[in-house]
Amino acid sequence: MIDADTAQPARLLRTPSWLINLTSTHSHRLVSEGFAAAGARGYHYRLLAALDEYGPASQAALGRHTGIDRSDVVAALNELAAKDLIERSPDPADRRRNIITITAAGSRHLEQLDRVLASVQDELLAPLSAPERTRLVELLTRVVEHHGRSR
C-alpha cells in the first residue's frame, strides 16, 4: 500500500532518470551502512579494490583508477594505513612520491567487503531474477559507457 504522504507523482515514476536517482539513493544507503558495520567506507573499498586489481600504485594513479579526488585519496589512505591495510614506500624512480601496496590484512578486509557488497546487491535487487539482474547490469553499463565517451 502506498502512503499518501510519500507517494511520488506518476509522471516521475515513469521517468528513468528519477527511478535511477531513487535507486541510487537507496543503494548508497545500503552500501554505506554495510561498509560502516564492517569498519569501512566506500573510498576504502574502491582503493583496496584498485590495489588488488592493478597492483602497487602511486596516490595519483589510485585517484585516477577510482575517481576519488586527490585530497580524499590521501585522507582515505591515511585511514587504511592506520589499520595496517596498506603500506606506503618511497617510489625508487621518484623519491618524492609514495607507492601504495595492499597488505595481507588489506586483502582479507577486501574479501570481507566483497561479501558485504554481494549481500547489498542481493538486498537491493531482491525483486529481480538472476537473468534480470544480468540484463540490468548490461543496460546500465551501456548507459555509463555512452556518457563516459561523450565527456
Per-residue confidence (pLDDT) for residue 2, from 0 to 100: 54
Number of domains into which the chain is organized: 1
- The neighbour count for residue 15, using CB atoms within 10 Å, is 13
Per-residue confidence (pLDDT) for residue 93, from 0 to 100: 84
Can you give the CATH number for the domain in which 115 is found?
1.10.10.10
Contact (CB, 8 A) for 85 and 102: yes
- Residue 1, in any domain of the structure: no
- Residue 93, in any domain of the structure: yes
- Residue 9, in any domain of the structure: no
- Structural domain of residue 113, as residue ranges? 17-149
- Residue 92, in any domain of the structure: yes
Contact (CB, 8 A) for 123 and 30: yes
Per-residue confidence (pLDDT) for residue 22, from 0 to 100: 92
CA distance 44 to 81: 11
Per-residue confidence (pLDDT) for residue 23, from 0 to 100: 94
pTM, full prediction: 0.86
Cα dihedral value 4, 9, 13, 16, nearest 10: -140
Per-residue confidence (pLDDT) for residue 148, from 0 to 100: 87
- Residue 12, in any domain of the structure: no
- Residue 127, in any domain of the structure: yes
Coil, helix or strand at residue 69: coil
Contact (CB, 8 A) for 97 and 59: yes
- Residue 7, in any domain of the structure: no
Chain centroid, CA 58 distance in Å = 19
Average pLDDT, 10 consecutive residues per value, the chain (151 residues): 69 89 95 97 97 95 93 96 96 88 98 98 97 97 86 50
- Residue 57, in any domain of the structure: yes
